[in-house]
A and B are shown apart, each in its own frame.
Chain A
Amino acid sequence: DTEVTQTPKHLVMGMTNKKSLKCEQHMGHRAMYWYKQKAKKPPELMFVYSYEKLSINESVPSRFSPECPNSSLLNLHLHALQPEDSALYLCASSQDRGWGTDTQYFGPGTRLTVL
């Protein structure tokens, strides 16, 4: 089973709202990722968690706040977003064997629209 699930599938929010995206995997993976994908572009890495600790933040604005409550769950908290933050947000997971070439498995994504 190589399934990563994400909820919600679609989200519309205003610029003053607070919302959260959720991601879950049950593959025993210890690394989890958030990506942002704009139309007709490849995904861009936002955050990496390794063993439930934030290991990479790709200079993402603070209006995006990641959280990893346990090894199976990853959240992305959203606050005061801008219309240009509208995109497909993808979660991924991988084993974390330490040498950096593990396969990442992606979820179906959350389509976010900021009004």
Chain B
Amino acid sequence: GNSVTQMEGPVTLSEEAFLTINCTYTATGYPSLFWYVQYPGEGLQLLLKATKADDKGSNKGFEATYRKETTSFHLEKGSVQVSDSAVYFCALVNTGTASKLTFGTGTRLQVTL
């Protein structure tokens, strides 16, 4: 079956630090990969996505590259801000699964001044 593994949080960084949140997946075929962000008290927002191997998704300074050889989709940002404090979910959707999203457990990011 499909599964997503994310690094355990919380991750605590100072403002302007470099961020990496690791995400690896297990899936047959050609899944699409996503990062969603959830700010406190809110719903999920799509942060970025990649639909095929070697695609790079990017948005708001965040990037992630679809690496089929390592089955990974790590999230990176060069300089985090306090406003980036949120929970980040890595997820995949695979062909033949009726668009059912498989989520990782989520990683809480706390950015301090």
B13-51: contact bitstring with A at CB < 8 Å (1 yes, 0 no)?
000000000000000001110101000011111100101
A5-46 Cβ-contact flags toward B at 8 Å (1 or 0) = 010000000000000000000000001000000001111010
A103–B45 alpha-carbon span in the complex (Å): 11
Chain A: residues with Cβ within 8 Å of the partner, total of: 29
The answer to whether A42 touches B99 (Cβ under 8 A) is no
Tally of chain B residues near chain A (CB < 8 A): 28
Determine whether A96 belongs to the interface, using a CB cutoff of 8 Å to chain B.
yes
Q: Mark A67-97, 1 if CB is under 8 A from B, else 0.
A: 0000000000000000000001010101010
Residues of chain A with a CB closer than 8 A to B36's CB: 106
Kindly provide the distance from the CB of A24 to the nearest chain B CB, expressed in whole angstroms. Answer: 14
Residues of B within 8 A of A (CB): 30-32, 34, 36, 41-46, 49, 51, 89, 91, 93-101, 103-106
